Amino acid sequence: MDSIVVTVRTGSQPSVTDLTREAAAFAKDKGDGLLHVFVPHATAGIAIIETGAGSDDDLLTALDDVLPAQEGKWVHRHGSRGHGRDHVMPAFVAPYATLPVLNGQILLGTWQSICLVDPNGDNPTRQVRFSFLAG
């Protein structure tokens, strides 16, 4: 299994970072198989959504609604405000994704991008692991 780790700058604010270009570069000489994307962090996830038309910001809005950052709500409370809910997020936005690859091309739809979702501003960089399982 080919597997690499890339470092992604996510900054000090909640963010959605498009990883499609990095994933495509990894897959492009790999033939047919499954691309696995994984983030080895407990306060981040991978989402397959459209970017560049507002949905990346909409996802952060939705996360604030679904899992409010409010103090006192969460048992887990070390770290900055919102850290408790950041730790629940990966149950809903999982830290992995799998995508089909044929001839080295990830078969995403026109409007789909592979995104790193990081609500946690305390970690300005994140690691992402791409793995390829030939099939």
Nearer to its own copies, 19 or 97 (CB): 97
Choice between 9 and 78, CB closer to its own copies: 78
Extract the tokens encoding 92: 């809903």
- Among residue numbers 82 through 111, which ones bind its own copies (CB under 8 A)? 84-85, 87-88, 90-100, 102, 107-111
Find all residues with CB under 8 Å of 34, minimum gap 6, and list them. Answer: 98, 99, 100, 101, 132, 133, 135
Site for its own copies in 7-26 (CB under 8 A): none
Site mask, its own copies, residues 45-84, x = CB under 8 A? x-xxxx--xxx-xxx-xx--xxx-----xxxxxx-----x
Pick 12 or 103: Cβ nearer its own copies:
103
The minimum distance between CB 25 and its own copies, in angstroms, equals: 18
114 lies in the binding site for its own copies (CB under 8 A): no
Give the whole-angstrom CA distance, residue 109 versus residue 86: 29
| Distance of alpha carbon 106 from alpha carbon 132, whole angstroms | 11
